[in-house]
Homo-oligomer: A and B are copies of this chain.
Amino acid sequence: MATSTAPSFATPPYAGGDALGAPGLTPAFSPLYQQIKGLILQSLQSGEWKPGEAIPSEMDLAARFRVSQGTVRKAIDELAAENLVVRRQGKGTFVATHAEQHVQYRFLKLQPDNGDTQSEGPAERTIIDCKRLRASADIARALSLRSGDPVLQVRRVLAYGGVPTILEELWLPGAPFKGLTAERLSNYNGPMYALFETEFGVRMVRAEESIRAINPDTEQASLLKVDAATPLLSVERVAYTYNDTPMELRRGLYRTDTHHYRNALS
């Protein structure tokens, strides 16, 4: 509905302090553009604008929130810096998506040693299984659930040019992903995070990875078709939606004889 219309202040040109309307969700003291950012964020979470769609123009938002275009602009600047929206000059500002961009697999830092991600092409994906389980203590902790809560476990292998390169095991909270099956995963063409968006309305926004070197156990070694003495990269990722809500725990084993994990520091 016509909810979040305007921060109710009447002290132009600079209100300064807290200025939120009815929901009153600003605990301390934040600049106007931060409050506007928060309001836009709420609309993103609530699904008012869906991934891939355009959000209203800066002028429209400025009118809606009763602030200047510059203030909206600064709010959107930050959202764009966090990869939540994408600006396109002359067209508009769009809700970021893991699909339909050529920035696919944004969270996958493994790349071929020759650097040519292009010629390598997309991974060949093989689902091993997809089970309904109850969360163990560590899984529950990572996903902010309680031990025993229902979770989905997916295991799969990614291969490049016929060479199995990544073995992944991932856990998802049962409730938001009700109805996810191995079949739906297999039939879907494109990044898994894109499927999460379109089928479950869950958009992954941010993630953290912990990396170690390990030796695989015999099952892992056979799935990746490597010797058990071949060291592998163990990459544990927790992915978050809006609001810093953890929505996925993923444990990956990466072969690093033909690929490497690339990271830019600044």
Identify the A interface with B (CB < 8 A). Answer: 81-83, 106-107, 109, 205-215, 229, 231-233, 237, 254, 256, 260-266
With a cutoff of 8 Å between Cβ atoms, the chain B residues found around residue A231 in the complex are 213-215, 231-232
Residue of B81, B82, B254, B263 near A263 (CB, 8 A) is: B263
Note all chain B residues with C-beta closer than 8 A to A233. Answer: 211-213, 233
- The answer to whether B260 touches A208, judged by C-beta atoms less than 8 angstroms apart, is no
- A265 contact from B209, B214, B254, Cβ within 8 A: B209
The 9 sampled A-B contact pairs (Cβ below 8 Å) are A208-B263, A209-B262, A211-B211, A211-B260, A211-B263, A212-B260, A212-B261, A213-B232, A229-B229
With a cutoff of 8 Å between Cβ atoms, the chain B residues found around residue A208 in the complex are 262-265
How long is the Cα–Cα vector from A233 to B262 in the complex, in angstroms?
13
Taking CB atoms, residues of chain B closer than 8 Å to A261 are 210-212
CB-CB nearest 5 A-B residue pairs: A231-B231, A212-B256, A213-B231, A213-B213, A211-B261
User: Which residue of chain B has its CB nearest to the CB of A231?
Assistant: B231
Residues on B with beta carbons closer than 8 Å to the beta carbon of A109: 263, 265
Residues of B within 8 A of A260 (CB): 210-212
Q: Which residue of B is nearest A82, CB measured?
A: B266
**Residue picked from A81, A231, A233, A260, most chain B C-beta under 10 Å:** A231
A205, chain B: closest CB distance, angstroms? 8
**Which residues in B have their C-beta under 8 angstroms from that of A107?**
265
A85 to chain B, nearest CB (A): 13
Nearest B residue to A237 via CB reads B265
Q: Inside 8 A of A229's CB, which chain B residues have their CB?
A: 215, 229
Is B211 touching A265 in the complex (CB atoms < 8 A)? no
**Closest partner residue, chain B, to A208 (CB atom):** B264
* A214 cross-chain contacts in B, Cβ below 8 A: 213, 231, 256
> A229-B229, A231-B231 given as contacts; is B262 within 8 A of A213 (CB)?
no
Q: How far is the CA of A237 from the CA of B266 in the complex (A)?
A: 12
